[in-house]
Amino acid sequence: MPSQPSSPEVSPRLVAFSGFRQVAAGDHAQVLSALRKLSGTEELLRVFNDATGERIDLDLRPEAHLPPATAEAPEAPQISTARPVGRPKLGVVAREVTLLPRHWEWLGSQPGGASVTLRRLIDESRKAGEGRVSVRTSRENAYRFMSEMAGDFAGFEEASRALFAGDRPKFEGLVAPWPQDVRLQLAKLAAAGWSAE
């Protein structure tokens, strides 16, 4: 099987704060350049991945080099089968599935047969699960940022509970007194977390 061509790694968008005020946003080079100009200030400088809320450590020394613009992605693992089964042109791979007799009986009675029915059920389940993962991931991303920036703020614990409970009005009420730039970043990270589960 031919190896997949490697694709360049996309640099994440970053957002930087001086104290609780956002001072830069953009790619690695843009944020690094902006922060080097501010590195003499007394305020604590913190940088986050704009999509995940994860804190990023940047080397602000002038002699520090930028990361390479593109990095080769690791080669995709090769899948091999002992025998040429399935439909290779369609990417179908045959593997063993163990089911009870009643499951095989039900699958056999479905239009298109067992394979078509299993593929359809898996696709439907994946689509249904994507929304839940998005909600959970959004809340975790917001919490990660919130813990770093607002862990000592009044109402932090209650706001965390409201976030994971999906109680948007309570959450927004609790974070309302927090600095504006922190609230705006939290709102962006938590946006998908308010979707109905």
Side by side, the strands of the sheet bearing 45-49 are 21-26, 14-18, 45-49, 55-56
Distance between CA atoms of residues 28 and 13, nearest Å:
7
Distance between CA atoms of residues 143 and 193, nearest Å:
11
CB count within 10 Å of CB 120 equals 13
Distance between CA atoms of residues 197 and 189, nearest Å:
17
What per-residue confidence (pLDDT) applies to 152? 94
Length of the chain: 197
CA 161 from centroid of its chain's CA atoms: 21
Q: Which residue is associated with the tokens 């409201």?
A: 162
> Where in 44-87 does DSSP place strands (E)?
45-49, 55-56
Q: Which residue is associated with the tokens 């009420």?
A: 173
Name the pTM for this structure. Answer: 0.62
Residue 181: closest CA among 27, 14, 17: 17
Distance between CA atoms of residues 12 and 181, nearest Å:
20
Tens digits of pLDDT across the chain (197 residues)? 444 444 444 568 999 999 999 999 999 989 988 888 886 776 788 999 999 999 999 888 776 665 544 444 445 445 444 555 555 566 677 778 788 888 888 888 888 888 888 888 887 877 776 656 689 999 999 999 999 999 999 999 999 999 999 999 999 999 999 999 999 999 999 998 887 54
Distance between CA atoms of residues 35 and 41, nearest Å:
10
What per-residue confidence (pLDDT) applies to 89? 62
CB count within 10 Å of CB 22 equals 17
What per-residue confidence (pLDDT) applies to 69? 45
